[in-house]
């Protein structure tokens, strides 16, 4: 499906991906949205595919998509933020196959068309898993969620999960993004779990040498259990330098 990117030529579109699953993409995306709104920007959110949902009334609700809808300021419904919710918390193409459904770029694009019609300054699309997430393997040529980012020519923000192996994961993800013809404009060092990474500072320094785009934040693991997720996200937003996103 061809997407009319001229609906709002002034809207900046950013695709948030990560080195792996559970890297904190939603946490970082919400913090980015909060920081951009503090800079007087109107921000929409889009998480086309989310696996792992609870049925509430007649809707499948994904916790991450719900957070995004709460932070964005374009009055989007949960279905507008996340048009493809899947119940099982497994690989999306497998979750879809189990209910007799095939995922397609056309379906992802249809939801994005609605996002483009909003009069937002910036849209943040949050991917699922890592960069090369399969959508459909039952075709002569497999399709990936990264194909959607490529088709829409979105600039990419890479969330690096700071753990053992992250140097390899970050560099391979960056190289794949560049090989796909897109700009990776920024990266975020995110401590997504309570496991303390040995030599964290040295690894971040190494990533700063390996990755040519700016690091816009180094986020700690927020271990305070008395602090709400919303407050943790708001605190993280204060640590982000959004300058590269406003150029």
Reported as a pLDDT band with limits 50, 70 and 90, residue 247 is confident
7 pLDDT higher than 60:
no
Where on the phi/psi map is residue 22: left (φ > 0), alpha (ψ -120 to 50), or beta?
left
- Is 114 an annotated catalytic residue? no
- The pLDDT of 2-17, averaged and rounded, is 76
The rounded mean pLDDT for the chain is 94
- Percentage above 70 pLDDT, the chain: 96
Q: Which one of 47, 75, 119, 215 is the catalytic residue?
A: 47
**Which range is least confidently modeled, 6-20, 68-82, 98-112, 180-194?**
6-20
Check residue 224 and give its pLDDT: 85
Give CA separation, 11 vs 116, 147, 199, 240, in Å. 8, 20, 39, 21
Distance, CA of 87 to chain centre = 19
The 10 Å Cβ neighbour count of residue 118 is 19
Kindly report, residue by residue over 213-245, the tens digit of the pLDDT: 999 999 999 988 899 999 999 999 999 999 999
- Percentage above 90 pLDDT, the chain: 88
Reported as a pLDDT band with limits 50, 70 and 90, residue 196 is confident
Q: Spell out the alpha helix ranges (H) of the chain.
A: 25-38, 63-71, 78-81, 92-98, 105-116, 145-151, 166-179, 200-210, 229-237, 243-246
Reported as a pLDDT band with limits 50, 70 and 90, residue 58 is confident
Check residue 4 and give its pLDDT: 59
The rounded distance, in Å, linking the Cα atoms of 212 and 187 is 10
Check residue 1 and give its pLDDT: 53
- The rounded radius of gyration (Å) of the Cα atoms in the chain is 17
Domains and CATH numbers, the chain: 13-246 (3.40.50.300)
């Amino acid at each position: 499906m061809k997407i009319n990117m001229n609906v709002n030529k002034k809207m900046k579109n950013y695709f948030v991906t990560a080195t792996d699953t559970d890297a904190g993409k939603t946490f970082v995306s919400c913090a980015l949205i909060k920081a951009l709104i503090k800079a007087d920007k109107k921000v929409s959110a889009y998480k086309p595919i989310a696996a792992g949902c609870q049925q509430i009334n007649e809707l499948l609700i994904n916790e991450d998509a719900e957070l995004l809808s709460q932070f964005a300021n374009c009055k989007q419904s949960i279905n507008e933020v996340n048009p493809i919710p899947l119940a099982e918390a497994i690989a999306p193409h497998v979750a879809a196959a189990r209910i007799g459904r095939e995922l397609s770029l056309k379906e992802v694009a249809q939801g994005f068309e609605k996002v483009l019609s909003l009069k937002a300054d910036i849209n943040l699309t949050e991917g699922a898993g890592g960069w090369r997430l399969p959508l459909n393997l039952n075709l002569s040529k497999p399709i990936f969620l990264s194909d959607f980012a490529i088709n829409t020519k979105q600039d990419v923000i890479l969330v690096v999960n700071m753990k053992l192996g992250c140097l390899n994961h970050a560099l391979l993800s960056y190289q794949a993004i560049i090989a796909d013809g897109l700009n990776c404009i920024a990266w975020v060092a995110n401590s997504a779990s309570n496991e303390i990474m040995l030599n964290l500072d040295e690894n971040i320094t190494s990533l700063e040498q390996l990755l040519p785009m700016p690091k816009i934040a180094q986020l700690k693991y927020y271990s305070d259990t008395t602090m709400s997720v919303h407050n943790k996200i708001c605190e993280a937003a204060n640590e982000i330098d959004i300058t590269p996103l406003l150029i």
